[in-house]
Amino acid sequence: MQFQFESLSDFLSMGNYGFYVWLSYAVSIIAMGGLIWFSRREEKQIMQQIKKELAREAQLNKK
């Protein structure tokens, strides 16, 4: 098995394109993390709203 890069430094520099390569990875990871965070937050808010509506309906049905 032969590696494409001589050293870790060569791997990180990616033939002088390392900045752009690693920056694109970072932006992608941050975007996906933000999407996961936003989705979970939205899910919590929706679940809280559903619980409030169910509680309100239960009180109305008691009367």
What is the model's pLDDT at position 28? 98
**Global pTM?**
0.69
The answer to whether residue 57 is domain-embedded is yes
The answer to whether residue 6 is domain-embedded is no
Strand spans (E) along 1-63: none
Range of the domain at 56: 31-62
Residue 62 pLDDT more than 80?
Answer: yes
* Domain count for the chain: 1
Residue 12 contacts residue 18 (beta carbons within 8 Å): yes
Q: Structure tokens of 24? A: 């694109």
The answer to whether residue 21 is domain-embedded is no
Q: How far is the C-alpha of 3 from the C-alpha of 59, rounded, in Å?
A: 69
The answer to whether residue 26 is domain-embedded is no
The answer to whether residue 10 is domain-embedded is no
Question: How confident is the model over 3-58, as pLDDT tens digits?
Answer: 788 888 988 888 889 999 999 999 999 999 999 999 999 999 999 999 999 999 99
The answer to whether residue 22 is domain-embedded is no
Residue 63 pLDDT more than 70?
Answer: no
The answer to whether residue 36 is domain-embedded is yes
Q: Structure tokens of 49? A: 């709203």
